[in-house]
Structure 1
């Protein structure tokens, strides 16, 4: 016997329809590529999204055809989020920080038909367009006054002219909620990148889960700033969650420096912000150097890489709650969030911090386990580590075009992370499988070594890698960047580890560099770091 409940498919168009109807005057604020601040509302986004849908109809795009973007976080990109997917096409957000040849390969692999781009990416588009075999239409996200002249791009039109000639009424189509809505390629640090293909159903469920109190905790009274880019995993689903709750949405555009982000937080009275540690490090450096504060910011979500303890402490000094998160392109991306349970509220501050530094508890819709080297599920004791595997409503079951090995193992997706899970269900990443250091038969977490280095006041960023050792197989070294104007020797940094970790876990050496290579999503590229130090040899006494 079935329930007697109406059956409406979960479609992205329903989000923007709801936002317009119930939160139409809710603010959407963007810093534009042109440099100014643009103000619109959820009603404006809905109206212009319908014009996007009509413009795609006029181009003759079919159901599930791909529309690519190379764009910052802005209101026009937001309109594409709803107009493209809502009309039954697939939004393909491309990371502009990838190498040009890789972007061209991705566009061809996805078989993109239209490319919409911010004018700041014109040189990149000019460099790749002759290699893009399926793109037939180019749309510059600007008005006619800012349309690049003599671009050399076929069928180039300004976004405002493209949608401006279309009526504002449009009947969103109804179709299977399992239809593809958007796609995002992995960063592809080794081999060709692979694409996760999200569905309307998975996206709506992910938006619901992301908005609940123990995750992003969004409501119509909030103002959220996603510093995480809209070209990477749908900005962690925040644009959809903002429409679902009707909260104010602030989009930073291309200005990602600490000064610009702080000014936007204060001017727009942001209550919640989300981004990767490298962005927050720039923000905190600016705030502390200029003796500034946060008047409205209550919480920040940190993901993409482990949050250093020093960063957690720095935000706490400014009365900002940190919520540690974990996820990946293949999980849409939210997998865990580090909100405290009631039982933790009475703990001393240092013990609460120990819980918050873990990547957090699974969000409803995601299940997880850790598997030991013998293939058995490991205990949730907070000490035993194993390969982290997940499954759930928004976890992929295969990659686009079924390329690469199957990501599933008995229905579980193998993440490539090594982790522990404690009795309360809090997961902690101890390393990537490829980065864990094996020394004398014992495993050393590179993340743990890095966190200690980054708690030193003279260190800006640090990475731990393993180097060959004739006796112990591998030994850890710390590679670090000093803060401007700070002086610190290798011996002093190594000495800083005394009493903080076991002696065998202490790095054998410290190497100072001008910069640590970062990937297109802000993660440290340890493979490139190892290549930089390929001629490095441990000190003779090590």
Structure 2
């Protein structure tokens, strides 16, 4: 017997319709590329998104066709989130931090019909335009007064605000199949070409529900949310959609992501919750400490994209009364997979033990099932000790890649994340390494991540990266690369002495190399493959 309930498709446009109806007056604040602050409401957002949907139809964009964006976090980008997906086309967010060759590949592979871009990226767009065949129209996301006077795009260039002004705001969002495509994001492609992950309306709305839950990102209408994580990277971890669902105030930083700019915006707009990668928060904390400042309203920050050092968690909590939510996910997971939200019995743990839990990537949110397996595919126990390949499945996990013609990466219905992980008895998962980064010394595994986390606890260490370096006797040995704080007299012996007693003796790196910087990829992660290329023969040639 079937249940007698209504069948309403889960559609991205329904999030905006809800926000307009129930939170129409809530504010959206954007620091614009033009340099000023823009303010309007969810009601204005919905009106302008409908106008842009009419503009897309007038430009001949049909359902299922891809519309590219190359833009910062801002209100115009937010309008496109809903105008494109809501009208049945596919929003394709492009990462401007990728090399121009990769961008050209992605645009061609996706067959984008049109690309919208912020003025910052005009030179990048000009370089890309000469390498691709698919987009015939490029739209500068600005008004007529700020349109560039010289460019290499000739008749292909249009003005965003002209499109809005030319089309009325009466538009009925179509009743789409909830399994139809809504948006497209490509992986960062550190090895090989980037791969496209094609999200559906259903998967996006379900992900929004789960990510907003109290034990997930814990968002509500009482929040003012600052997504520092870019809208061009996995849809800003879903926060633009979540804000519409719960009616939160949104604060967009635009291109200014330095510590001073972020702090001023956080304070001026009374931000309560922010989200970003550790490298951004390092700059923010350094600025706040330098001016002896404080956060007047921010009480939670979501840290993902890379492991959050315990020292950063402690600095946020002990110096600024800000709780850190450590999260893990992937482009293929829409992206949220786990969030390190403590259970009741963990709240009373001694500080050091609580921080040890918070260093983990956290519990799977409802909808994400996970397991760890050995090399033969056998499930390993959740005892916090056994480590194996992390596999996941769920309604917002990719089944295959865009354009792969049915070739699936799944392993018996599970998606292989490429991570090595442990899971404890409480269900808290901890990444111990990427499978490609794990160090195999004398047939035994060494976790580069664990070594990095301990090294980062040293007060004179800014960044620590551990890589596998080839070794004549042991095949591989850990090599520790350190960026130390300016003016520090820290030397290799000091680092190695600090590691004594904190990691297994045979894990201790045979050498420490000090570097000025480490290469950071398009999504804020350290590019260990480049460091392995540079230092991989260190023990053989030293």
TM-score, normalized by the shorter chain, greater than 0.5: yes
- Secondary structure of the structure 2 residue equivalent to 1:101: helix
- Equivalence for 1:150: 150
Tell whether the 8 Å contact from 1:508 to 1:538 is kept in structure 2 after alignment: no
Tell whether the 8 Å contact from 1:181 to 1:200 is kept in structure 2 after alignment: yes
CA distance in structure 2 between the partners assigned to 1:521 and 1:247 by the alignment: 25
**Aligned counterpart for 2:427 among listed residues 425, 429, 445:** 425
CA distance in structure 2 between the partners assigned to 1:129 and 1:531 by the alignment: 32
Alpha-carbon offset, residue 403 of structure 1: 5.9
Tell whether the 8 Å contact from 1:391 to 1:412 is kept in structure 2 after alignment: yes
CA distance in structure 1 between the partners assigned to 2:194 and 2:347 by the alignment: 43
Alpha-carbon offset, residue 443 of structure 1: 1.0
- Equivalence for 1:185: 186
CA distance in structure 2 between the partners assigned to 1:421 and 1:320 by the alignment: 26
CA distance in structure 2 between the partners assigned to 1:435 and 1:400 by the alignment: 26
- Equivalence for 2:214: 213
Tell whether the 8 Å contact from 2:470 to 2:536 is kept in structure 1 after alignment: no
CA distance in structure 2 between the partners assigned to 1:470 and 1:135 by the alignment: 52
Tell whether the 8 Å contact from 1:17 to 1:46 is kept in structure 2 after alignment: yes
- Equivalence for 1:486: 488
Q: Any residues of structure 2 matched to 1:118-517 within 5 Å, and which?
A: 118-153=118-153, 154-317=155-318, 318-402=320-404, 406-517=408-519
- Secondary structure of the structure 2 residue equivalent to 1:537: helix
Range with greater deviation from structure 2 (136-145 or 495-504): 495-504
- Secondary structure of the structure 2 residue equivalent to 1:210: helix
CA distance in structure 1 between the partners assigned to 2:30 and 2:292 by the alignment: 26
Tell whether the 8 Å contact from 1:304 to 1:523 is kept in structure 2 after alignment: yes
Over the residues paired in the alignment, what is the CA RMSD in angstroms? Answer: 1.2
In structure 2, the gaps of 5 or more residues are none
Cα deviation per residue 1:456-508 (whole Å; 9 max; x = unaligned)?
11111110001122222211111011112222111111111111112111111
- Equivalence for 2:31: 31
CA distance in structure 2 between the partners assigned to 1:534 and 1:352 by the alignment: 36
Alpha-carbon offset, residue 437 of structure 1: 0.6
CA distance in structure 1 between the partners assigned to 2:297 and 2:450 by the alignment: 32
Tell whether the 8 Å contact from 2:469 to 2:535 is kept in structure 1 after alignment: no
- Secondary structure of the structure 1 residue equivalent to 2:104: helix
CA distance in structure 1 between the partners assigned to 2:453 and 2:286 by the alignment: 17
- Equivalence for 2:534: 532
Tell whether the 8 Å contact from 2:91 to 2:182 is kept in structure 1 after alignment: yes
Alpha-carbon offset, residue 406 of structure 1: 2.2
CA distance in structure 2 between the partners assigned to 1:408 and 1:210 by the alignment: 23
CA distance in structure 2 between the partners assigned to 1:293 and 1:492 by the alignment: 33
CA distance in structure 2 between the partners assigned to 1:232 and 1:223 by the alignment: 21
Cα deviation per residue 1:291-315 (whole Å; 9 max; x = unaligned)?
1111111111111111111111111
CA distance in structure 2 between the partners assigned to 1:111 and 1:420 by the alignment: 40
- Equivalence for 1:73: 73
Alpha-carbon offset, residue 105 of structure 1: 0.8
Cα deviation per residue 1:408-460 (whole Å; 9 max; x = unaligned)?
01110000000000011000000000001111222111011111111111111
CA distance in structure 2 between the partners assigned to 1:43 and 1:345 by the alignment: 40
Alpha-carbon offset, residue 28 of structure 1: 0.5
Matching of residue 49 in structure 1 with residue 30 in structure 2: no
CA distance in structure 2 between the partners assigned to 1:270 and 1:344 by the alignment: 27
Tell whether the 8 Å contact from 2:469 to 2:536 is kept in structure 1 after alignment: no
- Seen in structure 2, the aligned counterparts of structure 1 residues 389 and 152 have a Cα distance that, compared at 3 Å, is same
Tell whether the 8 Å contact from 2:471 to 2:539 is kept in structure 1 after alignment: no
Cα deviation per residue 1:38-71 (whole Å; 9 max; x = unaligned)?
1111111100100110000101111111100000
Tell whether the 8 Å contact from 1:509 to 1:538 is kept in structure 2 after alignment: no
In structure 1, the gaps of 5 or more residues are none
TM-score, normalised via structure 2 length? 0.98
CA distance in structure 1 between the partners assigned to 2:486 and 2:122 by the alignment: 34
- Secondary structure of the structure 1 residue equivalent to 2:455: helix
Cα deviation per residue 1:215-257 (whole Å; 9 max; x = unaligned)?
1111101011111000010000000000000000011100011
TM-score, normalised via structure 1 length? 0.98
- Secondary structure of the structure 1 residue equivalent to 2:305: coil
- Seen in structure 2, the aligned counterparts of structure 1 residues 539 and 315 have a Cα distance that, compared at 3 Å, is farther
Tell whether the 8 Å contact from 2:219 to 2:242 is kept in structure 1 after alignment: yes
Range with greater deviation from structure 2 (237-246 or 523-532): 523-532
CA distance in structure 2 between the partners assigned to 1:399 and 1:425 by the alignment: 29
Tell whether the 8 Å contact from 1:368 to 1:390 is kept in structure 2 after alignment: yes
CA distance in structure 1 between the partners assigned to 2:429 and 2:471 by the alignment: 31
CA distance in structure 2 between the partners assigned to 1:173 and 1:404 by the alignment: 28
- Seen in structure 2, the aligned counterparts of structure 1 residues 45 and 378 have a Cα distance that, compared at 3 Å, is same
Range with greater deviation from structure 2 (144-153 or 401-410): 401-410
- Secondary structure of the structure 1 residue equivalent to 2:192: coil
